[in-house]
Amino acid sequence: MKTVDIISFAWKNMKQKRTQSLLTIIGIVIGVMAIVSLISLGYGVQNYIHEEMMKMGANKLTILPFKQFGVPPTHYFSDKEVKAIKNIKGVKEVLYGWYGGVDIEFNGEKKYVSCYYSKPSTLKEVYLDSGYDLESGRWLSDNDKYKCIIGYGTAHNMFDREIKVGDTIKIKEKKFKVVGILKQIGNQQDDDSVIIPLKVGEELFGNKDKYNFIMVTVKEGININKVAEDVKEALKKSLGDEDFSVLTAEQLAETVGGILGVITLFVSGVAGISLLVGAVGISNTMHMSILERRKDIGILKALGAETGDILAIFVVESGFLGLFGGIIGLILGIIFAKIVEVIAHKQGYLMVNAWISWELIIGVLIFSFVVGVISGYFPARSGAKLNPIETLRGE
């Protein structure tokens, strides 16, 4: 039989049982929809984070007191490590301090936010060089004490009444005057934040001479990889171990992106269970279809159709079921991902983006077709082997 005839037979078989075909592909639709939306949003977040981290600049190193993300640090940095890094050739600025969380109070309401403290003058220079800026007010100065800068989300989205420059908030029962508000960055960690001077932070949290992050700015024209190696050696000598990370902006983006990628693949794999259900549904439908069309198979064989032709008809039909399920699931998945993106952006989460590419679209459609073909192959093979004489007799 010609390829056109095989496709025509498969198409007619599907059209004759539209309702059954539609019910069969529901599992495929749900599975593909879940996978497309999760992959789209997962990679969208990864791309956003990569872009934001690269905005920090190729001349910056981030130093963290642990080897792997998610593993608690065995120690923190001190003035000893900061001094050692400052003495390295090629180092321009060293920003050090503490990042954590704290409850802040405003207008009788308490909310939990990210809290940063470091030396104000260095913070301003590094932040401005990294593309961060203020929406209103001014940056902290080294002479400030109980004053603070807050993130866009803390100011506009967190409390019933918006916080403005000049308002007062409470941190650990101490009153702080808001002198500046950061522009919207797009991720909750930075937007829902408060920044206070280093000395006040150490006093407030009891972390004197203890830092959980260091950021190094390298002088222009200096090889950043050479500086990174020198920093590693200096810290190894100062700390007595290698339980720390020295990352360029590219390495930091790749590390965080890798973690998110694993999470995205895991969640997508769980969603893929729906595809398994859909595959079983296609297999069952093809089996029932073959039983109902035994006489048709006998007639085709009596007219000279080969076993391979019969097999091809049913395999193509099952492939079409998988493909159509994939098309519908793809469309619904993209729509769902875009809806989530719009809602997230309205809530201030600019990092949540729907990533759609031709690779994703084509990959999903091919995958859906293959799932359909594999699901229908074994029932089709048994149908193709039927004896034409027995099928025509109705045996």
pTM for this model (two decimals): 0.66
Quick one: pLDDT at residue 190? 81
Q: Residue 137: what pLDDT?
A: 93
Mapping DSSP to helix (H, G, I), strand (E, B) and coil, where does residue 313 land? helix
Report pLDDT for 20.
66
Q: Where are the alpha helices (DSSP H) in 56-151?
A: 79-86, 120-129
Greatest alpha-carbon pair distance for the chain in Å reads 100
Q: Is residue 74 within 8 Å of residue 242, measured between CB atoms?
A: no
Q: What is the pLDDT of residue 197?
A: 94
| Contact (CB, 8 A) for 107 and 161 | yes
Q: Taking the C-alpha atoms of 31, 317, 18 and 304 in order, what is their torsion angle to the nearest 10 degrees?
A: -170
Cα–Cα dist 4/312, whole Å: 11
Ordered per-residue pLDDT tens for the chain, 395 residues:
566 655 666 566 666 666 666 777 777 788 888 888 888 888 887 777 767 666 666 688 888 888 776 677 788 999 999 999 999 998 888 999 998 889 999 988 999 999 999 999 888 888 877 778 899 999 999 999 899 999 999 999 889 999 999 999 999 989 999 999 999 887 777 889 999 999 999 989 888 889 988 988 888 888 888 988 999 999 999 888 888 888 877 777 676 666 677 777 776 676 667 667 767 777 776 666 666 666 666 666 666 666 667 777 777 877 888 888 889 989 999 999 999 888 887 776 667 788 888 888 888 888 888 888 887 777 666 655 655 555 555 55
Burial (CB < 10 A; 0-12, 13-18, 19+), residue 199, is: middle
The set of residues, in sequence order, having a beta carbon less than 8 Å from that of 108 and lying 6+ positions away, is none
Which pLDDT value is given to residue 14?
62
Q: What is the pLDDT of residue 144?
A: 92
Classified as helix, coil or strand, 113 is strand
DSSP 394: T
Distant-in-sequence, close-in-space partners of 316: CB < 8 Å, separation ≥ 6? 6, 7, 10
Radius of gyration of the chain from Cα atoms? 31
